Amino acid sequence: MAKTRVFRQKPSYVSTSILLIGAAYCLFPVFWVVMAASKDSSELFSTFTLMPSTHLWDNIVELSAYRDGLYWRWVLNTALYAGIGALSSTWVSAISGYVMAKFAFPGKGKVFAVLLMGVLVPGVILAIPQYFLLALVGLTNTYWSVLLPQIISPYGIYLARIYAAAAVPNDVIEAARTEGAGELYVFNRIALPMMAPGLVTIFLFQFVAVWNNFMLPYIMLGNDALYPVTVGLSGLLNQGATAPAMYTLVITGALLSIIPLVVLFLVLQRYWKVDLAAGAVKA
Which pTM was predicted?
A: 0.83
pLDDT at 2: 52
- Higher-pLDDT residue of 7 and 230 is 230
Q: Give the model confidence (pLDDT) of 17-41 as tens digits.
A: 888 898 888 888 888 888 888 888 7
Lowest-confidence region among 3-7, 51-55, 61-65: 3-7
Sign of CA dihedral 251, 252, 257, 258: positive
Measured between alpha carbons, how far is 86 from 89 in angstroms, rounded to an integer?
A: 5
Cα separations (Å) of 74 from 78, 80, 196, 224?
6, 10, 30, 8
Measured between alpha carbons, how far is 11 from 276 in angstroms, rounded to an integer?
A: 24
Contact 141, 223 (CB under 8 A): yes
> 128-136: which pairs have CB atoms within 8 A and are 24 or more residues apart?
128/219, 130/216, 130/220, 131/219, 131/220, 134/220
Could you state, in order of their start, the residue ranges of all structural domains in the chain?
A: 12-54, 57-282
Q: What CATH number is given for 57-282 in this structure? A: 1.10.3720.10
What's the mean pLDDT in 113-135? 85
Contact 180, 138 (CB under 8 A): no
Distance in Å from the first CA to the final CA of the chain: 37
Indicate whether 211 pLDDT > 60. Answer: yes
Q: What's the per-residue H, E or C state across the chain?
A: CCCCCCCCCCCCHHHHHHHHHHHHHHHHHHHHHHHHCCCCHHHHHHCCCCCCCCCHHHHHHHHHHCCCCHHHHHHHHHHHHHHHHHHHHHHHHHHHHHHHHHCCCCCHHHHHHHHHHHHHCCHHHHHHHHHHHHHHCCCCCCHHHHHHHHHCCHHHHHHHHHHHHHHCCHHHHHHHHHCCCCHHHHHHHHHHHHHHHHHHHHHHHHHHHHHCCCHHHHHHCCCHHHCCHHHHHHHHHHHCCCCCHHHHHHHHHHHHHHHHHHHHHHHHHHHHHHHHHHHHHHC
Cα separations (Å) of 187 from 91, 97, 128?
11, 11, 35
Indicate whether 224 pLDDT > 70. Answer: yes
pLDDT at 1: 47
pLDDT at 75: 94
